Each structure stands twice: as structure tokens, then as C-alpha cells.
Amino acid sequence: MSYQVLARKWRPRNFAEMVGQEHVLKALINALDHNRLHHAFLFTGTRGVGKTSIARILAKSLNCERGVSSHPCGECGACTEIDAGRFLDLIEVDAASRTKVDDTRELLDNVQYAPTRGRYKVYLIDEVHMLSNHSFNALLKTLEEPPPHVKFLLATTDPQKLPVTVLSRCLQFNLKRLPVVLIQGHLRRILEAEGITQEAAAAALIAHAADGSMRDALSLLDQAIAFGGGVLHERDVRVMLGSIEQTHVRLLLEAVADKDGKAVLAAMARLDEQAPDYELVLDDVAACLQRVAIAQAVPEVLEGNEDADTIKILAARLTPEDVQLCYQIALLGKRDLALAPSPRGGFQMTLLRMLHFSPKTGDGERLAVTAPASRPDSAPPVAAPRIAIAGQDTAAAPAAGNRWVEPDWMGLVESLELRGAAQQLALNCVYRRREGNTLYLELVAAHEHMATEQLLKRMEESLSRYFGETLKVRIQPVNGNLQTPAKLDELRQAERLRAAQEAMATDPNVRALCETFGTQINPALVKPAD
């Protein structure tokens, strides 16, 4: 007997065997069990997610000799013939090869005739968006008022190309990309049933490479089994897919975290031995950084994952700001890879950007290029250049060890190593007093939710570094208005806006233009000059 590919051998024969798509299956099962059947169904979604498989199961459910139900027997003549692709009353059409209006008319000429064997005559039209406009017009009338013995099952990967007149006459079901976990679990069950030796990491690699498509996953699995000589090894799958071992990604990111240029180049040299696709390597780097960011935000999410220990180590060695910056650099590096003199050179420059760029202290929107760790003695020290958003101050934060004085709180906050939510919390506070090593601040009660334990800790660490001593912060919520730095800044901005609007209204040139053209100034469009 000739070999049958896994995608065909393991195609689901009933709704219970489907993997995923519960939101679609629930609707169809209820419709079948309660005899509330529409005459036209449209299944949309990317390749390999189960559109035609669900359509064929639905055709079996409609024509099973034991009656219409969501559980076709799979044994009667209608069920076995549909599985074999030779049931006369299931007319499968590939719209991509029959786009002409004459083809559609020829197809619809037989709609009026009763089914030959089954209960319903089912038209399964795949890639229906490929039909021409004339073909859609020919189909439209029949689709709107078909004979009671006809059902239309339409499938497409591009529903936007369908006329709204067709969409409005169908029940539309959008099939989702399948999660990696579902694909991986299904592949393992198939390998066990087939008696094939497997490594769990190998199935995981294939599940990721399938990009949500079960058919792609089964095709890759077939290829991997052939590549490995009937055995599924992680190393063989990586070679087949052109991916690299995660050890290389870890070494690269550890070197970046240590700001160690030599280690980065050494890790690249080991990576070069595998002749990798550098675009895929950048994908792996970005994916690893994404998992690191998740581990920093919600550590328990990664519990039980195979690479949890590695991710936790990187999460401890990289700051959240560095992770976000390196992630963006990886994405931009992938985009620019085709413009580089060579893929390897473009990848190397991407890593060097990760190595030398870091978030600037005191402002999360700016970046600073760090100076090299060492220079020849003859070279004079050079201040680290900075990249800043236009119009913003680029002064560096003061060094630690400043002598304590009763602070101007707004000026102090601007000098601290605070960013993001921690800086916003500080700007919405008012300094009241210091007792021992504790600073007492007040916060408007409406903003009490901002004073989380994590943000308080960041404020304490920043103040301690700035003054060179251990300081604690206590925040007291109060009712009423406080003259916080944020409030004062808001008032200043409002005053600047009022002054700009007044200057615009009194400008003689503007007034002359308004009088000449009969227009007036829209105050909402007036902004203060930077």
C-alpha cells in the first residue's frame, strides 16, 4: 500500500477529532442538533486551520444515513464515500481554477435537480474569493433563494475580496490560527500513535514554525521524519528549519547584558559555524527578549516552561528598559537586514547597537550611547554622545552622594533616576518633611492607586543613590488640591497656551489674512512654540 501523508491520514473525520476552533464547532453542533440549518456557510481563515475539514464533516452530518446530527456515524455509505472523496452529492469546486462565469453557470444549472443519493446536495467552493465579478453575480440569486435540498459551504483565505452582497447571505465563521501548545500536543499524539521516537523540543520547534497552521505542521512533521530517518531529533529539525540552538541566543544576550564586546564577537563566531539565516536568528532573539519581558512583569507565567531557568537568568541580568530597547533594535535590525552590505554584517551591527545603546537615566524616551569600557592612554576622554528627542533637555542626572538640603521637590524629581510610572508618582506628590531617614510626602487621594509597593521601592532606590544614603519614603493620601509638580506644570502649560492663543489673535498679519479671506482662527489648533 502506498504511503499516505500525515496531513491526509490524520484529517479529522468528525467534530470531536478537530483540534481547536471551539467557537465554530459549538455553533455548528448546536445548529445541527436543533435543526436550525442555514443554506449558506462561509468559513474564513488562513491556510491549514481546518476550513475544508469542517466543511466536509458538516457535509457528512447533513447526509449521514442515520439522520442529521452533529455525530455522523462514519460507517454508512454516505460517510465513507465523503471521506473517500467520491460522494456524488458533495460537489467540491476549486474557485481558483474555475473563475469564468460560464463555469459558474454550468455548475448552477444542476442546482434545481434533487440529490442523487444523499439528503442534501452540498456545494463546497474553496477559495471562493477567486471567482470573477460576473461569476458572483451568477451565483448571487441562487445563493439567496436556493432549493431546500441545496447547501452552500464556501471557504476563503481572503474574505475582504468577497462582495458584501455575498457576505450578507452567508453565516460567516472566522477560524483562528491555532496556538502553539495545541499544535505541539497534537503532533506528540500523532508521533506516539505512529510509533516514532521523538524529542519534545523537536515537536515544539515544528509547532512554532507552523505559524498557526495545522496542515503546515503536519507537512513539516512528514519532512522532519524523512530527514531524521524515521526519528525526530531536535538537532535534525533545527537543521531542516534553518533555526539555531537557543544556547547561542542565550550567549549573545548574556554578552549584551554584560556590555562585553569580545564575548559578543565570540558568540557570533560560534554561531557562524552553523551558517544560519540571520533573519531567523533575529526572530529568535526578539522572541527570547519577549519571554524575558514577560518573566520580569509576571514571573509565574513561565513556570514549567522548558527554558524557564534560562529566561529567569536573563531577566535578572537585564533591566526592563534594556529588554524593551533591545527588542526594538532587533525588530529594526531585521527590517534593515536586506539593506546591509551582507546579512552577517547587518546582524553584527544590530548586536553592536544593543551593546552600546542604553536608556538614558531620568528619561525613558531618550537613549544614550555608552562610552567604550577602555581606551588607549593617549586618547583623551570623550563625553558619551546622546540621542534625544528634539526640544528636550539632555542634561545628565547628578552623581550619587549629593549633600542633603531641604529640596525643591520638582527640581529634585527631574534630577532623579526615575522613569515612567515611578516618575509620574513622584511628580504627583508634595514633599512635607524628613524625619531621620524617612521622607514624608503627600498625594491627592484620587491618585492613591499610583502608590504601589514596586513604585515606592524604585523611588527609595533612586533617592538613596542620589544622596548616597539609605532613605525611605512614606506617602500620605490627602483630600483636596495639592500644588504638585504635575499640577504646576499643567498650569504653566495652560498659561503658555493662553499666551500663544492671545498672540495669534492680536498678530496683525494673521488678522489681515482673516479679514481678506473671511476666516477665523481655530483656538484648538494653536500650540505654544517650543
pLDDT in tens, 232-268: 888 888 778 766 667 778 888 888 888 888 888 888 8
pLDDT at 55: 92
Q: Return all residues near 230 (Cβ < 8 A) that are at least 6 apart.
A: 196, 197
Contacts of 234 (CB under 8 A, 6+ apart): 199, 201, 202, 205
pLDDT digits (tens, 9 = 90+) for 292-314: 898 888 877 766 566 677 788 88
Each residue's pLDDT tens digit, 158-217: 888 888 888 888 999 999 988 888 998 999 999 889 888 888 888 888 888 888 889 989
Residue 519 scores a pLDDT above 50: yes
SS3 431: strand
Q: Are strands 472-478 and 438-444 parallel, antiparallel or unpaired?
A: parallel
Residue 232: DSSP 8-state: B
Q: What mean pLDDT is reported for the chain?
A: 82
> Residue 305: its pLDDT value, please?
64
* pLDDT tens, residue by residue, 139-160: 888 888 888 899 999 999 888 8
What pLDDT is attached to residue 384? 36
Count other C-beta atoms under 10 Å from residue 218's C-beta: 24
Rounded to the nearest 5 percent, the helix, strand and coil shares of the chain are 55, 10, 35
pLDDT value, residue 530:
60
| Inter-residue contact 178 to 49 (CB < 8 Å) | yes
> DSSP letter string over 152-177?
EEEEES-GGGS-HHHHTTSEEEEPPP
Average pLDDT over residues 213-227: 89
| Per-position b or e across 342-373, b if 16+ CB within 10 A of its CB | ebbebbbbbbebbbbbbbbbbbbebbbeeeee
